[in-house]
Amino acid sequence: MKQYRCTVCGYVYDPKNGDPDNEIKPGTSFEDLPDDWTCPICGASKDQFEPAE
Amino acid sequence: MQVYEIKKDIYWVGAVDWLVRDFHGYSTYKGTTYNAFLMFDEKNVLFDTVKHNLCSDLVHRIRTLTDPEKIDYIVVNHVEMDHTGCLPEIVELVKPEKIICSKMGHKNLLAHFHRPDWPYHVVENGETISVGKRSITFIETRMLHWPDSMFSYIPEEKLLISSDAFGQHLGTSERFDDEVDESELMYQAKKYYANILYLYSPQVRKLLKSVAEAGLEIDMIAPDHGVIWRKGPDKILKAYEDWSHHRGTKKALVIYDTMWHSTEMMAKAVADGLESTGISVKLLDLAVNHRSEIVTDVIDAKGICLGCPTLNNGLLPRMAGFLMYLRGLRPAQKFGFAFGSYGWSGEAVKHMNKAMEEWKFELVHEGIKVKYVPTHDDLKRCKEAGQLMGKKIIEALEDQA
Ligand SMILES: [Zn+2]
């Protein structure tokens, strides 16, 4: 599963780890994150993420 | 030590740093201040602290007003150590009932001071707490300029304590905007924006919009560095509006480094071309201009020309370092042009073009490389490239108007 990088702060969402701060279970793909999910570091919305190289 | 009542029962109790000249690589030739504020009400509140080495200044000022143990709450608007460096000492002295911070503030305080036992009180974005006759509303301002940053707004006083936003590294005995030289003040405010906030311009635009929509009444903005905006809160808000929108002006920079003056000759020719079209130009040799001053000029320049000779198949280190610094600040919406001399391989122009392409600058020319020493014709081509950029800038600004 693809990793996505926050264009505001540089945080990388790794599906392997999920996002425990926002109660996202490990194994959740970026696409499957809820629409109102935000970056755990800076609060940026999902559309401010891009695929990480 | 002097304290200053900035609003009824609200005092400046911070510290002036007359000595600092280098703030993690940002040149601070005028020193700075670390502002902290003490508000007396049914609950007494200390907003922020100061850098570690100036802790005794803060304590001294607090003691001229009250016994530190009478302070009930400490608000941490920003965890960076110039505002929290003496927090452990202050917590020890004050024994606060609450240390108020944002969710990220809580995490970052733990990661700085490793004190899970402190009495944290985490506030939500927009939450208001009453402290007696007055209240404090906390506004999260994530990434302006750390994840933990927030504003404290006191509606009854129309006072916005804005943490690092709207700050200036300007160390003075004066506390207010109307007491200092205006052009110096605006320059230092711009330099602060350029070096600290420029990369978060989209977030600044969003914040300004939400502040306007919320209809917050503000007649004083008290940042954590420099003087307090009491005469011109609108002026600094308007400046932030302009800077965050990348509103370029009729201005171009020729930023260069040189080994044996060839690239310098080219730089002068480029500047000459720009000047001939009526554009305001600055010729900035990286050897004598500090990067933090150059980026201050970058934010309102519409054109950026970069000149560097090739050294060991790459860039001179000063240009490489400058590009790394500028890249982090995310410049946008500018015209670009690269040039430089070389001896045998000549990669420098390619590297500078690549950087500007990454920033989505519109390159007005493919770039000019000159072997060893420019001829008359080479310099003519450089001048023409400068003229081309000048024309592009004028056209773009006409379209923008
Ligand atoms: Zn982020």
pLDDT tens-digit map of B65-104 = 999 999 999 999 999 999 999 999 999 999 999 999 999 9
Check if the beta carbon of residue B270 is closer than 8 Å to that of residue B318.
Answer: no
CA distances from B97 to B46, B74, B94, B170 (A): 12, 8, 9, 33
Per-residue pLDDT, averaged over B357-373, amounts to: 98
ipTM entry? 0.88
pLDDT (0 to 100) of residue B274: 98
- Quote the CA–CA distance of B163 and B154 in Å, as a whole number: 14
B290 is catalytic: no
B117 is catalytic: no
Check if the beta carbon of residue B171 is closer than 8 Å to that of residue B32.
Answer: yes
Spatial strand order in the sheet of B220-223: B128-130, B135-140, B150-154, B159-163, B220-223
pLDDT (0 to 100) of residue A28: 97
Using the predicted structure, report yes or no on whether residue B247 has a pLDDT greater than 90: no
Structure tokens at B243: 């800077």
Q: Is A41 in Cβ contact with B200 (below 8 Å)?
A: no
**Residues of chain B contacting residue A41, judged by C-beta atoms under 8 Å apart:** 104, 142, 147
Distance from the first to the final alpha carbon of chain A: 13
- Percentage, residues of chain B above pLDDT 70: 100
B225 is catalytic: yes
Q: How far is the CA of A6 from the centre of ligand 1 (A)?
A: 5
Phi-psi region of B48 (alpha: psi -120 to 50; beta: other; left: phi over 0): left
Per-residue pLDDT, averaged over B246-268, amounts to: 96
Check if the beta carbon of residue A52 is closer than 8 Å to that of residue A3.
Answer: yes
Which helix H or strand E contains B39, and what residues bound it? strand B37-39
- Quote the CA–CA distance of B157 and B89 in Å, as a whole number: 30
Q: Secondary structure of chain B: what % helix, strand, coil (to 5)?
A: 40, 25, 35
Q: How far is the CA of A30 from the centre of ligand 1 (A)?
A: 14
* Residue B336 Cα, gap to closest chain A Cα (Å): 23
Interface membership of A9 toward B (CB under 8 Å): yes
pTM of the model: 0.95
Per-residue pLDDT, averaged over B345-354, amounts to: 97
B167-221 pLDDT per residue, tens: 999 999 999 999 999 999 999 999 999 999 999 999 999 999 988 888 899 999 9
B236: closest CA among B216, B260, B220?
B220
Cβ burial, residue B312 (10 Å; 0-12/13-18/19+): exposed
Q: How does strand B150-154 pair with strand B135-140? A: antiparallel
Residue environment code for B234-262, b if the CB has 16+ CB neighbours within 10 A, otherwise e: eebbebbeebbebebebbbbbbbbbeeeb
* Residue B296 Cα, gap to closest chain A Cα (Å): 21
- What residues have CB less than 8 Å from B268, skipping those under 6 apart? B283
Interface membership of B205 toward A (CB under 8 Å): no
**Residues of chain A contacting residue B203, judged by C-beta atoms under 8 Å apart:** 8
Q: Is B200 in Cβ contact with A43 (below 8 Å)?
A: no
The owner of tokens 């570091």 is: A41
Interface membership of A10 toward B (CB under 8 Å): no
Identify any residues that bridge with B335 across adjacent strands, giving them in sequence order: B303, B362
Check if the beta carbon of residue A9 is closer than 8 Å to that of residue B145.
Answer: no
Q: How does strand B159-163 pair with strand B98-101? A: unpaired
- Percentage, residues of chain B above pLDDT 90: 97
Which helix H or strand E contains B263, and what residues bound it? helix B262-276
Q: Determine the distance from the C-alpha atom of residue B44 to the mean position of all C-alpha atoms in its chain, rounded to a whole number.
A: 31
Q: How far is the CA of A8 from the centre of ligand 1 (A)?
A: 5
